[in-house]
Chain A
Amino acid sequence: DADVTQTPRNRITKTGKRIMLECSQTKGHDRMYWYRQDPGLGLRLIYYSFDVKDINKGEISDGYSVSRQAQAKFSLSLESAIPNQTALYFCATSPPGNYGYTFGSGTRLTVV
């Protein structure tokens, strides 16, 4: 099994729909992150969580929410999807003070 598993791998959804992207990790780390990748913009941080009770907004959190259900699980929700949220979404985890993140394989989301 992969260290960081993201589901689904691909998803097409309609504008206005609510959608949840799920992430689970087996590394045993407290820290988890959600990034989105857009062409020419690299990876931008949406939300991050340093433990189950600690959730923080990243640089582009508008239109997104997260839930940290357990140390191993961190889900990202789009409450009302819009086309400019079409992107590749990555979940990652890391130990404290170490930026060698372990990323999942990504979720390709298309909002039509």
Chain B
Amino acid sequence: DQQVKQNSPSLSVQEGRISILNCDYTNSMFDYFLWYKKYPAEGPTFLISISSIKDKNEDGRFTVFLNKSAKHLSLHIVPSQPGDSAVYFCAASAMKTSYDKVIFGPGTSLSVIP
């Protein structure tokens, strides 16, 4: 059973509009969340993260929102650009435990249409 879920395998958005990528998790021990971006033929690259003590974190065009009660987080990209077209992985970790590893979701493929 997947502990980190990304229920939309793909998403298409017009250039300049907002992209919203969603992620749900089941393990209440998760307290640190990350988004990674992956282009074809490359490894994933770290994009943005958020601790469970916050409900929002911004970095330029990228904002991650965390709703702990709903066990849900989302990544907003505003405005979307064609270079944002990639697969986005949501990931989670339980930093307070000794397990200390990251669980990844299945990914959402974002296409930004010029």
User: A48 to B107, alpha carbons, bound, how many Å?
Assistant: 21
Distance of A97 Cα from B32 Cα, bound (Å): 11
Q: Chain B residues with Cβ under 8 A from A4's Cβ? A: 43
- The size of the chain A interface, using a CB distance under 8 A, is 23
Tally of chain B residues near chain A (CB < 8 A): 26
Q: Check A42 against B107 for contact (C-beta < 8 Å).
A: yes
Choose from B49, B89, B101 the contact partner of A42 (Cβ within 8 Å). Answer: B89
Q: Mark A53-92, 1 if CB is under 8 A from B, else 0.
A: 0000010000000000000000000000000000000101
Are A104 and B43 interface neighbours, CB within 8 A? yes
User: A41-B106, A42-B89, A42-B104 in contact; A103/B44 too (CB < 8 A)?
Assistant: yes
Interfacial residues, chain A to chain B (CB-CB below 8 A): 4, 33, 35, 40-45, 48, 50, 58, 90, 92, 97, 99-106
Binding site for A on B (CB under 8 A): 2, 4, 6, 9, 32, 34, 36, 41-46, 49, 89, 91, 93, 95, 100-107
B46 touches A43 (CB 8 A): no
By a CB distance below 8 angstroms, the chain B residues around A90 are 43-44
Top 9 closest pairs, chain A to chain B, by CB: A103-B43, A100-B46, A43-B104, A42-B106, A42-B104, A103-B44, A105-B43, A42-B105, A104-B43
Q: What CA separation (Å) do A92 and B44 show in the bound complex? A: 9
A58 in contact with B106 given A92-B43, A99-B91 (CB within 8 Å): no
In the complex, the answer to whether A97 meets B95 with C-beta atoms within 8 Å is yes
| Chain B residue with Cβ nearest A108 | B41
Q: Which residues of chain B are within 8 angstroms of A99 by Cβ–Cβ distance?
A: 32, 34, 46, 49, 91, 93, 102
